[in-house]
Amino acid sequence: MDALRISLQLLLVITSGLLIPLVLLHKGKGGGLSDMFGGGVSSSIGSSGVAERNLNRLTIMIAVTWAIVIVLLGLIQRVTN
């Protein structure tokens, strides 16, 4: 059970670290942090429909994985106590 808990905690750290830049890379309505890094270059690249859709899919996939890991860690904690 300890190996499972440690692997889930490691996965939680990795997915948390990935979610931060993925969320910041999204194009904001009013030009938030995503426009601060690169200005016009990132907005011309980010305006591509395919790139934005892939970024959305990747972000959702990582966020769902993050949420599942949190639920599993909670269930393990409840079972062991």
Range of 71's domain?
2-80
Give the helix ranges, DSSP H, for 1-81. Answer: 2-25, 33-36, 40-46, 49-80
15-72, pLDDT tens digit by residue? Answer: 999 999 999 998 766 655 556 666 555 555 545 688 888 999 999 999 999 999 999 9
62-77, pLDDT tens digit by residue? Answer: 999 999 999 999 999 9
Give CA–CA dist 68/12, Å, rounded. Answer: 9
Task: Give the chain's domain count.
Answer: 1
